[in-house]
């Protein structure tokens, strides 16, 4: 709903709005405000794009406890399952369905 309001009343593109939401998830995680939201809402807070920002920030913070290199690789490790699943399922759908251009 918030994204639709932003689209309706600003000139921001969908890509910019997605980046803003992801960075908001990172910022809220850094401030310690996103974890209570996850505890309250569960999947309602972790599934949207702001949840991806939370996942990356959480992975970086957990990795930072082990050292600088793990702080850089922590977000990759945290998001690897979801990204891998997206790639695999996209490939399978590409094999099953034939793409075509949409004509007006």
Domain count, the chain: 1
Residues of the chain falling short of pLDDT 70: 104
Does residue 103 lie within any of the structural domains? no
Q: Tell me whether residue 104 is in a domain.
A: no
The pLDDT score that the predictor gives to residue 104 is 62
Distance CA 90, CA 53 (A): 22
pLDDT of res. 91: 94
**Length, in residues, of the chain:** 104
Residue 82 is predicted with a pLDDT of 86
Q: Which residue range forms the structural domain that includes residue 77?
A: 2-96
pLDDT at 98: 84
């Amino acid at each position: 709903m918030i994204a639709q309001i932003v689209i309706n009343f600003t000139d921001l593109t969908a890509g910019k709005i997605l980046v803003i939401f992801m960075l908001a998830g990172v910022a809220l995680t850094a401030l310690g405000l996103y974890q209570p939201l996850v505890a309250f809402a569960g999947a309602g807070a972790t599934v949207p794009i702001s949840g991806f920002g939370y996942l990356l920030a959480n992975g970086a913070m957990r990795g930072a406890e082990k050292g600088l290199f793990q702080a850089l690789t922590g977000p990759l490790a945290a998001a690897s399952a979801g990204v891998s699943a997206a790639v695999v399922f996209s490939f399978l759908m590409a094999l099953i369905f034939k793409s075509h251009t949409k004509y007006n």
